[in-house]
Chain A
Amino acid sequence: MIRIENLHKSFGDLEVLKGMNLHIPKGQATGIVGPNGSGKTTLIKTILGLVKPDSGVIHVNDVKLNGNWLYRQDIGYMPQVARYPENMIVRELLEFIKGLRNQEAVFEEELISQFNLGPELDKSLRVLSGGNRQKVGATLAMMFNPQLLFFDEPTAGLDPQASFKFKKRVEKEKQDGKTVLITSHIMSELEQLVDHVVFILDGKIRYYGSMENLLEENKEERLEAAIARMMENSPDPGIEARETEVTFQ
């Protein structure tokens, strides 16, 4: 599904991705964890074609990325920050993206009712609360039934009910055989949603494997503790300094 070989990316002097290799098979739910500025978002953005790698090869569904764009028909992406043109009405935004994708929005109604977006449809995006904007983002990501789903910090702004519904939805997508990629700082959430973990530290993959394996190796019961232990065990003087520098991406 996704195959990444020796991926490098620098922003100016700052090396963000330092030779990443990653193979994510079809139907796998993978959580990407790592400290702020470790390169999680950059990795996802590179797969989406938003960021152009300095070197390395990415294949998505056996299509090699080289500035092409059709492969994104199979991807639904929910960004970390959901900001839309203020004067646009929710319904128009949905219509607009539908027109861009030229695919049938099979899950549109379903997602709207699931996230209780019905009453928000005729409001302009300016007056929408942050959480509702996140829900709109989730709807946009999933309504075309894409085979690959990327969620960047999806539940950060959601209330417990919405967050619960969102997780339910992602579990359903998983069962339908979707390949799911989630970055999150909420470890309990990842424990629920994913079965594989990619741990990124300072632009490199420090761990990639199944959740159980990770817990076993670190002799921990919870993901949070296992990750914390790994972060302690890989001392890297550069991390602290870089954290503040990379936040702009």
Chain B
Amino acid sequence: MEEDENIKKLNPVEMKLLTHIIKNEWKTLIRGKWVIGYGLIFLILTDTLLRFGGGGAEVLLSLSNVMLLFIPLVGMIYGILYIYQSREFVELLLTQPINRKTLFWGLFCGISTPLMAAFVVGAMLPLGWHGILAQDPGASVMVLALGGMLTLIFVALGFVLGLAFYEDRIKGFGFTIVIWLFMAILYDGLILMAIFTFGDYPLERFVIAATMLNPIDLARIMVLLEFDISALMGYTGAVFRQFFGTNSGILTASGMLVLWLAVPAWIGLRVFKKKDF
């Protein structure tokens, strides 16, 4: 029953409220300027890479390495900070005649899309004026889209963490850092260790399952599959390609990424709807 309610579309009145909230968030975020600063960092980074870093594919790879490391961290911190900083404001909004579902989507879309746009625009402009976008449109679009998607996923995770540890900020930030360290840095090492330890057994399915459980890995593999760089592919990437082939590998991975966005967002909504403020 409640699940149906969560999936059910918003009616026109609620849609109007939703866009009203989103617009308001955009306005205040743009005034806050640091989202623009974040976009500028990617602009300068991409431009510098393009000036000194050689060809288009190499630059896109370097960009995606930076992106895979930092977007998850920034996204999560940003999401959880928003929840913590806006407590009283969210409470005030909840006392208005508006339902929690509309408010949740309004806040989530309102704060995640500017961050996403900052990355996409910031990285796209130099790619455009250096001609990479025209020269290698498929790969460029994929890197930009992955960065955008990771932003949404990790802002959603930040929201979930903020709502789950509403009273205990230290714990909330602690988990944020641990999850980031685990997903962005330790995960590959752990998989490798498992492979070395259990090398005598067929591990393909395990490796594939393990990859699916980490959105950063999924994004990494999609980049590597797109560029077809076997040397950099690593074990997980190689297994992935062998198992799915390049195209359906990319398709499966993007499907999983969508799921990775849908599930945290849905959990966040559920927590938000049940929460005592």
Contact = CB atoms under 8 A, between A and B. Distances in A.
B88 A79 contact: yes
A52 to B, nearest CB: 6
Interface string B91-135: 111111111100000000000000000000000000000000000
Interface in A118-172: 137, 140
Interface stretch (B20-28, B151-159, B183-191, B205-213): B20-28
A73 B97 contact: yes
B20 A99 contact: yes
Given A50-B276, A79-B88, A88 B28 contact: yes
B32 interface: yes
A124 B42 CA distance: 29
B20 A100 contact: yes
Most chain B CB within 10 A, of A69, A71, A72, A101, is at A69
Given A69-B99, A99-B20, A48 B89 contact: no
Interface string A218-249: 00000000000000000000000000000010
B17 A100 contact: yes
Nearest to A52: B276
Contact of B28 (A81, A85, A97, A140): A85
Nearest to A47: B95
Interface string B12-53: 010001001100100111011000000000000000000000
A84 interface: yes
B88 A100 contact: no
B81 to A, nearest CB: 12
A19 to B, nearest CB: 18
Contacts of B273: 67
A51 B100 CA distance: 12
Interface in B254-277: 273-274, 276-277
Q: Is the interface of B mostly helix, strand, loop or mixed?
A: helix
B86 interface: yes
B92 A79 contact: yes
Given A69-B99, A101-B97, A92 B88 contact: no
Interface in A78-126: 79, 81-85, 87-88, 92, 96-97, 99-102
Q: Is the interface of A mostly helix, strand, loop or mixed?
A: mixed
B88 A82 contact: yes
Contact of A96 (B13, B24, B29, B95): B24
A96 B93 CA distance: 10
A43 to B, nearest CB: 13
Contacts of B93: 100
A48 B94 contact: yes
Contacts of B28: 85, 87-88, 92
B272 to A, nearest CB: 12
Contacts of B97: 69-73, 100-101
B167 interface: yes
A77 interface: yes
A49 B94 contact: yes
Closest 10 CB pairs of A and B: A83-B88, A72-B97, A77-B95, A73-B97, A51-B276, A50-B277, A87-B31, A99-B20, A69-B99, A87-B28
14 contacts: A52-B274, A67-B99, A69-B98, A72-B97, A73-B97, A82-B88, A83-B89, A87-B29, A88-B28, A96-B20, A99-B17, A99-B24, A100-B17, A102-B13
